[in-house]
Amino acid sequence: MDAILRMIFNRLIGLVMSRGIDHLARGGRDPSQMSREERQQYRAAKQNGRRARQAASIARRFLK
């Protein structure tokens, strides 16, 4: 039972982290209301966030 709860909790934390990074990357604005340059910055920030999550995941594997 503990393993199932831990799995659900970790999944929820991952979802919240992804949405939070996305929200910060777009500065709280809707992408349809952004200029072309702002959308490019949003995409770059989103990709950097994805890379940071991947790096953290790899680091956790090595530090176990």
DSSP category for residue 14 = H
How far, in Å, CA of 55 to CA of 49, rounded? 10
At 5, the pLDDT band (50, 70, 90 cuts) reads very high
Number of domains into which the chain is organized: 1
Read off the amino acid at residue 1.
M
Q: What pLDDT does residue 4 have? A: 93
Q: What is the pLDDT of residues 14-55, one digit of tens each?
A: 888 888 877 877 787 887 888 899 889 888 988 888 898 899
Q: What is the mean pLDDT of residues 3-18?
A: 88
How far, in Å, CA of 26 to CA of 20, rounded? 10
Range of the domain at 35: 2-62
pTM of this structure: 0.60
Query: Residue 8: pLDDT above 90?
Result: yes
